[in-house]
Amino acid sequence: MKKKLSFLFTLLMIFTLVLSACSSGGSSEKAGSDTSKENSKEENPVKDRGNEIIVGVSAEPQNWDPIDTFLLDWSTIATSVFEGLVDRTLDLELQPGLAESWEYLDDSTLQFKLRQGVTFHNGEPFNAEAVKFTFDRLLGPEGQKGPQYSNYNTIDKVEIVDEYTVNFKLNAKDPVLLTKLAGYGAVIVPPNYIKENGDDHFNNNPVGTGPFKMTGYKRDQEIVLEKNPNYWKEGLPKLDKVTFKVIPEASTRLAELQTGKIDIMKRVEVAQAKTIKDTSFLELKEIGSPTVFAIRFDTAKKPLDNKLVRQAINYAIDKDAIIKEILGGYGYPISTFQSELSFGNNPNLKPYSYDPEKAKELLNEAGVKEGTELDFFIPGNDGNFKEIAQVVSFYLEEVGLKVNIQTADGTTMNSDLIPNGNAGHMYRNGWGGWTLDFDNTAYQMYAEGEFWNPSFKDAKVEELLAAERSTVDQAEREKIFKELTEVLYELAPEVNLYQAVDLYAANKRVQNFQPPHEDRMRLEEVSVK
């Protein structure tokens, strides 16, 4: 069996090298050859672009209303357009945003003092009315249709004290509320603009207070942002224009980067890292991420309604080999669906070991017949995960299961197939963990009836989720999370694969670009030379 696995990884490595060669223009260097001299002669192809940059991204959310989305692709772009009361730096530290300060007046009242002199891109003033409108909308019928609502439903209402002071009246304790208010679901929107133009118009023509305003949008093609000349942070932004080009295929994004058609490439694949490192005018940037990846089970579908089967699949897959051989070491093992950056991570839990014999025993105990077929959905434009899916298919075949790999558009998967239980027996699940607190992940993934949880439910999990939200005592919450992670580990609602290390590439003309830990690109300080 080890020989078979070695052969499979060898084939994948050959495939990877071929892709890498194609991405480099089809040429390959002889072993031991010195490419440094050749690289030093390379001329930067970007000329006369001016004070602007072009960013290549793999997808866009197709809806810019913050209450309608939970997609990282939204945050990559719209973080430059919208702002919240609380901000979070690229180093993940909370700081004032549109609110200059805040304080708890009592256990159920959080007061914000708002920043004065700020205007929306359409000239509308930012004030207490805008804050109240934003949260009335988020917590009302419109917001309840979307995935953001459950993050903020501890807010009972927002009361206006004066033009630049608001009180948030809470209906329950919320230990991570400030962190969530720095999230993109709570960004402030313009009341009059939305009232006059309607929600449908706002979906495609967003207006915020951020450093850039959206001036052009061609769905699935490009998004154009231009400098907000009235931005409240003096001297920012430094760029006049940022264009995001939607390029689903990683090989095409790299080709556009190499030929100077884009300046920054998001989602560099492992196979492309060496090509970028070997190009004199490009720079590879890696960043530890709270994003985690798993193979999520639809527990409503047989035989995955049986936890023994879910545990068996966990034992059948060698996660360490995937990280080493496919990801080139750009990933960390995880035992539950959260990163080591997350409050609530349980370091005492170790990932399921690779034990195919144990997997066979559990499948036999569960009465699963050899040759049982499982449909496995993955995004069609994720090259890394295509390789992972092939290896997973092989591992499961070794224990008697047949996997049918299905591909779908990533946005369709997240917005339609997964929430409606139509993503097969199992599917790729990536999660940003943007609050750096297991609360957000745990509620969205395991609370019954949540948007991205079509089928999983467990009474003990519900009890523990309610308990951790009922206290602001962090030591008590940590104790509850420890128990919750142990329960989830036993129930195995997914195969937890790895914590991501994100790879970006940038043309060296781009100055002061720091890749974000959680996809939320900050571009106001970026400049070009």
pLDDT tens, residue by residue, 493-505: 999 999 999 999 9
Q: What pLDDT is recorded for position 440? A: 86
Q: What pLDDT is recorded for position 308? A: 98
Is 60 exceeded by the pLDDT of residue 325? yes
The band of 36, judged by pLDDT with boundaries at 50, 70 and 90, is: very low
Mean pLDDT of the region 78-95: 95
Which residue from 122, 80, 98 is spatially nearest to 212, judged by alpha carbons? 80
Q: Which residues contact 309 (CB under 8 A, 6 or more apart)?
A: 303, 362, 363, 366, 368
With H, G, I as helix, E, B as strand and everything else as coil, classify residue 474: helix
Residue type, 26: G
- List b or e across 460-488, with b for residues whose CB sees 16 or more CB atoms inside 10 angstroms: ebeebbebbbeeeeeeebeebbbebbeeb
Conformational region of residue 149, where left means phi above 0, alpha means psi within -120 to 50, and beta covers everything else: alpha
The band of 150, judged by pLDDT with boundaries at 50, 70 and 90, is: confident
CATH architecture for residues 289-500: Roll (3.10)
Mean pLDDT of the region 261-284: 96
Q: Where in the chain are all domains bearing CATH 3.90.76.10?
A: 59-240
Structure tokens, 217: 């949008």
For residue 19, what are the β-bridge partners?
none
pLDDT tens, residue by residue, 458-496: 999 999 999 998 888 899 999 999 999 999 999 999 999
Q: Which residues contact 121 (CB under 8 A, 6 or more apart)?
A: 81, 207, 208, 209, 213, 228
CATH architecture for residues 59-240: Alpha-Beta Complex (3.90)
CB count within 10 Å of CB 363 equals 26
Q: Where in the chain are all domains bearing CATH 3.10.105.10?
A: 289-500
CB distance 211 to 120 below 8 Å: no
The string of DSSP letters for 304-339 reads TTSHHHHHHHHHHS-HHHIIIIISTT-EE--SSSS-
With H, G, I as helix, E, B as strand and everything else as coil, classify residue 136: helix
CB count within 10 Å of CB 367 equals 10
Lowest mean pLDDT among 112-126, 175-189, 305-319: 175-189
The band of 78, judged by pLDDT with boundaries at 50, 70 and 90, is: very high
Q: Which residues contact 320 (CB under 8 A, 6 or more apart)?
A: 333, 354
CB distance 529 to 312 below 8 Å: no
pTM: 0.76
With H, G, I as helix, E, B as strand and everything else as coil, classify residue 243: strand
The band of 307, judged by pLDDT with boundaries at 50, 70 and 90, is: very high
What value does the mean pLDDT of the chain take? Answer: 92
Is 60 exceeded by the pLDDT of residue 72? yes
Is 80 exceeded by the pLDDT of residue 87? yes
Mean pLDDT of the region 178-183: 93
C-alpha to C-alpha distance for 157 and 1, rounded to whole angstroms: 60
The band of 14, judged by pLDDT with boundaries at 50, 70 and 90, is: very low
pLDDT tens, residue by residue, 370-423: 999 999 999 998 888 999 999 999 999 999 999 999 999 988 999 899 999 999
Is 60 exceeded by the pLDDT of residue 18? no
DSSP-derived secondary structure letter, 380:
T
Lowest mean pLDDT among 135-144, 218-227, 407-416: 407-416
Mean pLDDT of the region 121-134: 98
CB distance 432 to 46 below 8 Å: no
Q: What pLDDT is recorded for position 10? A: 55
| H-state helical runs in 339-455 | 356-365, 383-398, 410-412, 438-446
Q: What pLDDT is recorded for position 106? A: 94
C-alpha to C-alpha distance for 266 and 276, rounded to whole angstroms: 13
Q: What pLDDT is recorded for position 27? A: 32
C-alpha to C-alpha distance for 164 and 263, rounded to whole angstroms: 40
CB distance 385 to 305 below 8 Å: no
